[in-house]
Amino acid sequence: MSVLSGKNILLGVTAGIAAYKTSFLVRHFIKAGADVKVVMTPSAKDFVTPLTLSTLSKNPVYSTFYDKNEENELWNNHVDLALWADLMVIAPLTANTLAKMAEGICDNLLLATYLSAKSTVYFAPAMDLDMYQHETTSTNISTLERRGNVFIPPAYGELASGLEGEGRMAEPEEIVAFIQKDLTASLPLRGKRVLITAGPTYEAIDPVRFIGNHSSGKMGFALAEAAAQLGATVILVTGPSNEALHHTAIDRIDVMSAAQMYQTIHKFYGEVDIAIFSAAVSDFTPKVVSSQKIKKKTSEMQITLVPTKDILASAGAVKNNQYLVGFALETENELENAKDKIRKKNLDLIVLNSLQDKGAGFRSDTNKVTLIDKNFQIQEFGLKSKQEVATDIFNEILKSVHA
């Protein structure tokens, strides 16, 4: 999953020859998971058609304040367009529109939308060599940067005039990479390593049977995606789960048993900044595992169980500046049992689940949690999707952990 996934991108297109590249730019944004709308200056339509960009973006393309061909002449609201956008990208940006942006001139829909923008605006100039080297161009670029806009430098190469030099609009894939890098640099967990456990463990009885639980891994996977979206590099150690990952910054390691999870956790634990143990690890495992399938010979069968290693307690015992989060699934004396875990296992935060709450717990897409920190400050949350719960958990973590 890209950092652009789920973002609303408003693409502004001005009347330069590089406008033909915007069809590729739209495709790259959509491939990265973004939703794209396009605003064009009227003259930009001479270089690339609105039909092309609307087909690729699957959204209407806007170029005038109202649709003259509509019977009721519907108004294209520049304020609504600006508020819709998570970020605005103007590419190509001609010298003419650059100067108007610097001076605050508002004589078309694109400029009105730019002046209404609340989100970050990226701009990628495209013009001939002499125009790009002119003093007013560098002054106008500096003005936009001083106001918080982000400059995507042009490339060096052959220009429309036949000259060779700076002025070519950056290639579409370069623009996307630039924006992704810029957005990642500002994420709160950039440079942090996060270790997360998820799912159940299966404790073998024989080659075909096991002791397990109903955990699906949904909560742990949601936490992994949330951490990656915040800029972290994530190691997800998961028991058997059908859940899928989407973000490329997550390294998934599959294990089966509690012993395998213990070994894997301690392989990486010393290298991470944050550890969140959301897996439903079996408390017991068979003392003896049969090498052959056990036959049904009598009406009763006994299996001797022995305790598994307490992964969370072992991590707390060797904690060295890691922010350690545990989960507690309780059925009685919930708050006291959760507080007791914080003390005994040296936790910074515990996430309390209750099987008493409808819609929470294993296999559900929702969860209802209470967060308790090491100072026993309590926050209760209503029933939410597990993605929203993951966000709440990281909002709490970010109060103590800084990039």
Tokens of 183: 């957005």
According to the annotation, is 151 in a ligand binding site?
no
Q: 88 and 114 in contact (C-beta within 8 Å)? A: yes
| Pairwise CA distance, residues 403 & 115, whole Å | 32
| 352 contact partners, CB below 8 Å, separation of at least 6 | 327, 328, 330, 334, 335, 338, 369, 370, 371, 372
| 133 contact partners, CB below 8 Å, separation of at least 6 | 165, 166
Q: 86 and 9 in contact (C-beta within 8 Å)? A: yes
Other Cβ atoms less than 10 A from the Cβ of 36: the count is 24
| Pairwise CA distance, residues 349 & 337, whole Å | 14
In angstroms, the Cα distances linking 365 to 40, 216, 244, 352, 390 are 41, 10, 14, 17, 12
| Pairwise CA distance, residues 112 & 171, whole Å | 26
Find how far residue 60's CA is from the centre of its chain: 27
In the block, residue with structure tokens 């002119």? 134
Active-site residue flag, 321: no
Tell me which amino acid residue 265 is: I
According to the annotation, is 128 in a ligand binding site?
no
According to the annotation, is 384 in a ligand binding site?
no
According to the annotation, is 310 in a ligand binding site?
no
Find how far residue 204's CA is from the centre of its chain: 36
Which of 8, 76, 213, 346 is catalytic? The answer is: 213
Q: How many residues does the chain have?
A: 403
According to the annotation, is 68 in a ligand binding site?
no
Which residues are designated catalytic? Answer: 213
In the annotated binding site for CTP, the residues are 283, 293, 327, 341, 345
In the annotated binding site, the residues are 283, 293, 327, 341, 345
